[in-house]
Amino acid sequence: MRLRDLGFSKLTYSEIILTIRHGDAVNVAPMGVLLEDDKRLSLRVYKGQRTCELIEKGAVDCVLNITCNSTLFYDAVLNKSEISYYPSETVSSPRVRGCDAYVECSIIDVEDCGEYVRVLLKPQLIKVSRRMVKTHNRAEPAVIEALVCFTKILHLIKNNVEMAESLKERIKIFREIVYHSTRNKKLRMMMTEILDRAEKMIREKKAIDKH
């Protein structure tokens, strides 16, 4: 199995769930990955996140956990304690249970680029655990897009409330898409929670600014 067969591309970010270990600390977070060439991948990890902290401390490997399951993406941002791990075959970072495929990677270079670090990865093992064809639906991608907006709000709320407001409006649209396209209570609950948390953050920031 080649990286390209799994959908990795030089031009389009593949959104995966990254697990990383340093010492006893394990972290999980969604990340975008680009193909550098046939043998290497790269990440752009923004500073101030736990993932970046572990990389800067000297983490030597990570796992790209591949899934379209929006609940796993949600848990990786808002419910990390719900994520269940199991050991990898070639690296110290664990895999997330329930994913379709795993790419176990060594970290071969970390470049400081100011606001973020660029991390170069060398895959050690590609493991496909499920090769099922699934129909497309509108709800799961909408949840993941809402999470992207939410995590952006987390990082820019301090300095840019207007941008946070406009991202919150986008979350409302994604919530509408979810409510139109599924009766799945869990997906609907996750969208409500994402919107509630975004609104709460903005409300609290505005209250602080008033005083």
Ligand X SMILES: Cc1cc2nc3c(=O)[nH]c(=O)nc-3n(C[C@H](O)[C@H](O)[C@H](O)COP(=O)(O)O)c2cc1C
Which positions lie near ligand X, rule CB under 6 A?
15, 27, 29-32, 44-46, 49-51, 73, 77, 144, 147-148, 151
DSSP sequence for 43-93:
EEEETTSHHHHHHHHT--EEEEEE---HHHHHHHHH-GGG--EE--SSSSS
Token couple for 206:
């505005």
Closer residue to ligand X in complex, CB, 127/152: 152
Query: Shortest gap between Cβ of 114 and ligand X (angstroms)?
Result: 13
Cβ nearer to ligand X, comparing 29 with 198: 29
Identity of the residue, 43 or 91, whose beta carbon is nearer to ligand X in the bound complex? 43
Least separation in angstroms between residue 154's CB and ligand X is 6
Q: What is the DSSP letter of 159?
A: T
Distance of CA 177 to the CA centre of its chain: 21
Compare residues 26 and 202 and give the one whose CB is closer to ligand X. Answer: 26
In whole angstroms, the minimum distance from the beta carbon of 103 to ligand X comes to 15
CB of 30 to ligand X, least distance (A): 4
Give the residue with the Cβ less far from ligand X, 89 or 204: 204
How near is the Cβ of 45 to ligand X at its closest, in Å? 4
Closest separation in Å from C-beta 181 to ligand X: 19
Burial class (CB in 10 A: 0-12, 13-18, 19+), 52: buried
E runs forming strands in the chain: 14-22, 25-37, 40-46, 61-66, 85-86, 95-96, 101-112, 116-128
Report the alpha-carbon distance of residue 13 to residue 8 in Å, rounded: 7
The residue (of 89 and 109) whose beta carbon lies closer to ligand X is 109
- Residue 205: what residue type? K
